[in-house]
Amino acid sequence: MSDRRVVITGIGIVSPLAATREATWERLIAGKSGAGRIDTFDPSDLPSQIACQVPWITGRGGGE
């Protein structure tokens, strides 16, 4: 067994609903969904065209 220590310096979230945990929580309890049609590439050859994309990471908006 190792004696290495772990330090947690903060808390964050990666969510298709928002860029902050507060905004994500607000949208979650408001019943919002992060699921939608894939629009970052052509998904026509895939069995599903629905995904939970994270637009604020790719710079397409949606975050706070």
Annotate the chain with DSSP letters as a single string. ---------------SS-SSHHHHHHHHHTT----EE--SS--TTSS--EE---HHHHTSS---
Q: What is the pLDDT of residues 20-49, one digit of tens each?
A: 889 999 999 999 999 999 998 999 999 999
pTM (2 d.p.): 0.63
Range of the domain at 5: 1-64
Give residue 47's pLDDT: 97
Structural domains of the chain, count = 1
